[in-house]
Chains A and B, each alone.
Chain A
Amino acid sequence: MRPRETDDEPTHRPIIGAVLVAGVAVVLAVAMVDLPREGAPLPSVARYAMDVAIPKWGITEPVNEIVYGTRGFDTFGETFLLLGAVVCVITLTRRREPRQGFIGEQEAGAREQARHDAGSGGNETARQAEKAEEPGEDPTDRPVGPATPDHEPLGRPAPEAAQAMTVVVRVASRVASPILAVAGIYLVAWGYSPGGGFPAGAVMAGVILLVYAAFGYRRIARAVQPSIFETLELLGALIIIGCETLGLVLKGSFSANWIPLAEPQTIRSGGILQLFSGGEFIEVATGLVLVIFAILGMEHDWARDRQ
């Protein structure tokens, strides 16, 4: 193993940096002292947001009303920035592609090889020998740990491929994850109290991470697949686009409310706010899970040694 370079932490011109930072600090301090303090009156835009919350949107939570209603266009852009970041991370972390020669060369070569193989025909032993030479996708040659580390005898080195954590962690996460999942859904469903799509989505991503950390990837492999999560992510984006555009079609302005208002302080209060919030919930939960598993599954891509 190579010595870690990070432990002695090389720095870069600390004196010049300190002088620059000191200058910025003075400028910032002068600016901060002049900012409006806690005695200043509320700006009129804030008063407006407080005033329209109940009559126009039927929701008792002005912050949610601003995020998903009055300034919905801003949140619309922010959601697609998040989507763009997720796409960016997935693109950066994907596997290396077989692109050694010109694009398409490999496929054409494979086609020609297939025609050649068909022509030579019948040579079963040669084909078997070829198959054996190919780098093995054989799953049996990998070291596989026991299903849980509880059956591991004491005093042995850790299993090569741990599948789950010990019984304490597993029981704790069995108890905690449903409670956390319900809390996350509560945050998004009860839109008239503090909460909303973003914290709820982050809590759901945390639940999935908790289950992953406690039980290992194999237990969640059927549910947490890029194909499923990418579809869900785009579905959330589609909900948000549809919800905002229908306002343009039905009411004549983008992000206008087109769902009839329900009684305040009920689960359906807030019109399109709830729909937008739900879309944001799906978007954030799947986006965070996709990002974390993409970085976690990033392939070894070390540059070759120059020699």
Chain B
Amino acid sequence: MLSIVKRDVLNLLVNPALNLYGTLFPVLLITAMGVLNQSMFATDIISSYDYYTVTLLVFIMFNMAVISTNSFMEVSIKQANLRIGYAPIKRYQIYGSKIMATFLFSLLSMGIALVFMRVIFSVNFGIDVLWLVLVLSAGSLFASSLGVMTVILLKHEESANQLLGIILIVFALMGGVFFSPYAIGETFGNLSVVSPFRWVIESAFLALYDECYQVLFKTVGVLVLLSGLCLMVCQKCFKLEAYL
């Protein structure tokens, strides 16, 4: 399993597009949103960089679902990945390694963004940045599992990415990644409670700035549970022959 995970991580790292997405994109996005919305956060409590580092990292972490579909079924590595299935290994190792690799890749991506924002923009992570890391990691685990599960169910990377792309952007808008969902309307705002983005963002802010950890633990628990659910679906539905 370890050698497959290592191979999958390296596959992600040697892909220039995914590399940029994992490293440069978060930093640029947070910086751009931070600069553009600086005036809206004219308080000493929280700056636009503080806010968008949290919300956009949540956005990036959930978007790792798309990376995991790529890690599994991207056209240039699909056949090479399927060849692993000829070896005497367990079925779960094939998809499990993709989830694990994407998860590790997302941690690396998150680490780069957090260090950059702290060093360059002196972002204030409140009580302890580890709370943010914890909830983002849970989000990333769920996203990685969700991506692999979707590609297993749809049997096609492009279809999986299209579906995930739509779902993720809707949940991101509902979750207040870019602006408050109530800005669109009260109904939309109320509906936004179903968005995992909102759970993670709210729980992160509560933990970082209000020392309230209960919601964060619940959120992490739910995300881990959902990840487990995705894994169960993967184990039930994954058949190599579907990709021949």
A, B in one complex: no
